[in-house]
Amino acid sequence: MTGQPALRVQGVRKTFGDHAALDDVSLDVREGEVVVVIGPSGSGKSTLIRCVHQLEAIDAGAIYLDGELLGHERHRGGLRALGERRVAAQRSRMSMVFQQFNLIPHFTVLRNITEAPVRVHRRARSEAESEAMELLERVGLADRAHHYPRQLSGGQQQRVAIARAVATKPRITLFDEPTSALDPELVEDVLRVMRGLAADGMTMVVVTHEMAFASEVADRCVFMEAGRVVESGPPSELFTAPRSARLRSFLARHHNARPTTSTVESVS
């Protein structure tokens, strides 16, 4: 039970040209844990998520899912990069929700959700469809199953994207600012769905600027700046007693922008 973490990020470094977007980042996520990543723009939050999901190759360090090294295999006493198909198979055990939703425009809502279960996980279509309908019911969009993504509002599209992400029963779901592209009045619908997933025990890594959500749902909060993890701990500690000056000033800026996040009160 106290064994290996679901996700282990260990000393990861990622550079774009000579700019280090991630610099010696380490992070463990236990099964069922909700980890929220916060930090200023450009601090490497998206890069971290994309590296975990193997959308970007890392330059140093290692990432493990359930103890299995991602993106590389042992070969003749060293490591070598995996082929794209093997990487795809590793990815299929994780899921990702994007800031811009990225639903497939020529697939209906239902097809977006069933595509991975049917094509990747080889599930029977009828079975995948009935499960997808249950998920749509949960996110309140059952009546939109046969619509195309362009016919939905941003908030609705993001809820479909979340249903798509969890349809494959991933070991871990990664969220990259899922509410940042939404109008304020649509944010709450999406957060409600995410709270429900957290309550069900889904393992989640969430990049967000929604501090109220972070303090309410996160088991652990990670503050990043300039490609490094500066501070991490339970949100109650991090938000009320920040140790570093940088986190203090980050929180101060966010308090000014969002008055609801001043304390650790939960929003119903």
Partner 1 sequence: MTTLSAPPSEAFDDVATARRRARPWRWAAGLALAAVAAQLAWFLVNNDRFEWDVVARYLFEPTVLSGLATTVLLAVVAMAIGSVVGGLLAAAQLSDFAPLRWAATVYVGVFRGIPPLVQLIFWFNLAYLLPRISIGIPFGPEFASWDANTVITPLTAAVIGLSLVESAYMAEIIRAGLLGVDSGQRDAAKAMGLTPAQTFARVVLPQAMRVIIPPSGSQFISVLKGTALVSVIAMADLLHSVQVIYNRTYQIVPLLIVACLWYLVVVTVLTIGQRWLERHFSRGHTAATSARRPTVSTSDGAAA
Ligand X SMILES: Nc1ncnc2c1ncn2[C@@H]1O[C@H](COP(=O)(O)OP(=O)(O)OP(=O)(O)O)[C@@H](O)[C@H]1O
User: Which residues here bind Mg ion, judged by CB under 5 A?
Assistant: 46
Within the chain, where are the H helices? Answer: 45-52, 84-91, 109-115, 125-138, 154-166, 184-199, 211-217, 235-240, 245-257
- Among residues 1, 2, 3, 41, the one that binds ligand X under rule CB under 6 A: 41
Q: Could you say which of partner 1, Mg ion, ligand X, none residue 14 binds, taking C-beta under 5 to 8 angstroms by partner kind?
A: none
For the record, the structure tokens of 107 come out as 């697939």
For Mg ion, give the closer residue by CB, 46 or 173: 46
Q: How far is CA 96 from the centre of its chain?
A: 6
Scan for tokens 């260990």, then name that residue: 10
CB 34 within 8 Å of CB 17: no
For partner 1, give the closer residue by CB, 54 or 179: 54
Please state, in angstroms and rounded to a whole number, the distance separating the CA atoms of residues 204 and 195: 11
CB 62 within 8 Å of CB 49: no
Contact pattern from residue 3 through residue 32 relative to ligand X, giving x for each residue in contact according to CB under 6 A and a dash for the rest:
-------------x--x-x-----------
Cβ-proximal residue to Mg ion, closest one: 46
Please state, in angstroms and rounded to a whole number, the distance separating the CA atoms of residues 67 and 12: 16
CB 214 within 8 Å of CB 195: no
For partner 1, give the closer residue by CB, 156 or 215: 156
Q: Is 258 helix (H, G, I), strand (E, B) or coil?
A: coil
Tell me how far, at minimum, the Cβ of 40 lies from Mg ion, in Å.
11
* Contacting residues toward partner 1, per CB under 8 A: 50, 53-55, 84-85, 88-89, 91-93, 95-96, 98, 100, 102-108, 115-116, 119-121, 140-151, 156, 164, 168, 189, 192
Q: How far is CA 38 from CA 52, 226, 235, in A?
A: 16, 12, 11
Tell me how far, at minimum, the Cβ of 224 lies from partner 1, in Å.
21
For Mg ion, give the closer residue by CB, 163 or 207: 207
Crossing angle for the helix pair 154-166 and 125-138, to the nearest 10 degrees: 130
Instruction: Determine if 46 is a binding residue for ligand X (CB under 6 A).
Output: yes
Tell me how far, at minimum, the Cβ of 264 lies from ligand X, in Å.
23
Tell me how far, at minimum, the Cβ of 209 lies from ligand X, in Å.
8
- Among residues 45, 91, 111, 164, the one that binds ligand X under rule CB under 6 A: 45
Tell me how far, at minimum, the Cβ of 26 lies from ligand X, in Å.
17
- Among residues 7, 12, 44, 217, the one that binds ligand X under rule CB under 6 A: 44
Within 21-106, where are the H helices? Answer: 45-52, 84-91
CB 157 within 8 Å of CB 149: yes
Tell me how far, at minimum, the Cβ of 173 lies from Mg ion, in Å.
17
What residue ranges bind ligand X (CB under 6 A)? Answer: 16, 19, 21, 39, 41-47
